[in-house]
Amino acid sequence: MENGTCNLLERERKSPQRFRKPFHRKRLPIKKTMTLIIGIVCHDGIVMAAESQTTKGNSKLLGTNKISIVEFEHDKVLVAEAGSANLSNHAIELFQRKARGVKIDNDSTVPKLVQKSVFEVVEKLLEPFKSGATPAQIQDFLLDEINKFELMVAYYFQKKPYLYMFRSALAGIPDKVKTYFETSGIGADLADYILTKYIKENSDSEFASVIAVKALQDVSNHVEGCGGPLRMASLHHRGMAATILAPSDKWRVFQRKANSLLYLGRCSLLT
C-alpha cells in the first residue's frame, strides 16, 4: 500500500493496540447524535430495533430504513446502521456483494467481511490524506459527525448467536458484544436503562420486542433528535428466518402484549 494514510489504516487493522496508543493523548468526546439502534440476544432468536430519523444539515428525514438483511449462501445476517447514511449504506452494499454465494463456515466469516467493507469505505474517505497525515488528524476527521458511522451485525453460526459492532472511527475493527444486548446512538443511555431494568438473559424474543419498541418510543419522546417510524427485525437460530417489521405489521399485538405485561406486574414502563 502507499505511504501515509493507507499505511496507518493497515497498521490499525493488523495491530489495533499499537495504532491506538497515540490517540490516548487526545481523546475527543464522542457526541451520540446518530440513529438509536438496539440489539438483543434472546433464547429463541436475536431482535434488532431502530428509529428512523436521519439528519442532513438542518433538515430531518423520517422513515429511513436502518435495518437490512444480508444474504449468504445458506444463511441470513441482520445489519443495523447509525451515523452517516451515505457511508453506512455504501458499507452495507459492499458487504452484500461480498456475502453473495458465500458459505458461513466459521464464526469469523461474517465479521471479516464486514470489517473489509467498512475498511474500504474509510480508506476511500481518507484519500485526501494520502500525502500524509498524523494519527490525531485522522482521528479528528473520522470523529466528525459527517464522516462517522456504525454497524450492528447479528448472525448465527452452528446455532450460536453472535452480535458485533463495527465503527468507522476504528477502521471497522470487530467489537464483539459480550452481554446479551447492545445499544448505540442518540438516547443510548436511556435505552440502556430500560433494557437493563426489564430484559434478562435468555428472555423470549416476543417480550424483548415489546421492550425494544417501548425503549425506542420513550427515547423518541424524551430525547431531541430521535424519532420517526420504528423498525424491528428478528433472526432465528436456523439463520433462514429473518424478518423486518414495519410499525403497522404487529403494532397492536406488541401493544396488547405490553399492556398484558403491565397488568401482570412484570414491568412498569415509562410513558
Comparing C-alpha atoms, which of 85, 91, 174, 84 is closest to residue 99?
A: 91
- Mean predicted confidence (pLDDT) in 264-271: 40
What structural domains does the chain harbor?
A: 5-13+30-263 (3.60.20.10)
- Between CA 154 and CA 68 the distance in angstroms is 11
- Between CA 96 and CA 68 the distance in angstroms is 10
- Between CA 49 and CA 127 the distance in angstroms is 34
Strands of the sheet with 242-245, listed across from one edge: 181-184, 37-42, 45-50, 231-235, 242-245
- Between CA 171 and CA 126 the distance in angstroms is 11
Comparing C-alpha atoms, which of 148, 160, 164 is closest to residue 78?
A: 164
The angle formed by the CA atoms of residues 190, 219 and 254, to the nearest 5 degrees, is 105
Instruction: Tell me the per-residue pLDDT of 92-113, one tens digit each, with 9 for 90 and over.
Output: 999 999 999 999 999 999 999 9
- How does DSSP assign 33-89, residue by residue? -SPPEEEEEETTEEEEEE---EEETTEEE-----EEEEE-SS-EEEEEEEE-HHHHH
- Between CA 270 and CA 94 the distance in angstroms is 39
**Hey, how many other C-beta atoms are within 10 angstroms of the C-beta on 224?**
9
Tell me if the pTM is above 0.75.
Answer: yes
Instruction: Tell me the per-residue pLDDT of 195-232, one tens digit each, with 9 for 90 and over.
Output: 999 998 889 888 898 888 888 888 888 887 666 677 88
271 versus 218: the higher-pLDDT residue is: 218
CB 142 within 8 A of CB 122: yes
pLDDT at 63 > cutoff 70? no
Instruction: Tell me the per-residue pLDDT of 139-188, one tens digit each, with 9 for 90 and over.
Output: 888 888 788 899 999 999 998 999 999 998 888 899 999 999 999 988 89
pLDDT at 271 > cutoff 80? no
C-alpha cell at 240: 433462514
Cα–Cα distances in angstroms (integers) from residue 46 to residues 41, 155, 180, 227, 231, in the given order: 5, 8, 10, 23, 14
135 versus 165: the higher-pLDDT residue is: 165
256 versus 222: the higher-pLDDT residue is: 222
CB 230 within 8 A of CB 213: yes
C-alpha cell at 209: 420486542
**Hey, how many other C-beta atoms are within 10 angstroms of the C-beta on 64?**
17
Residue 48's identity, in one-letter code, is M
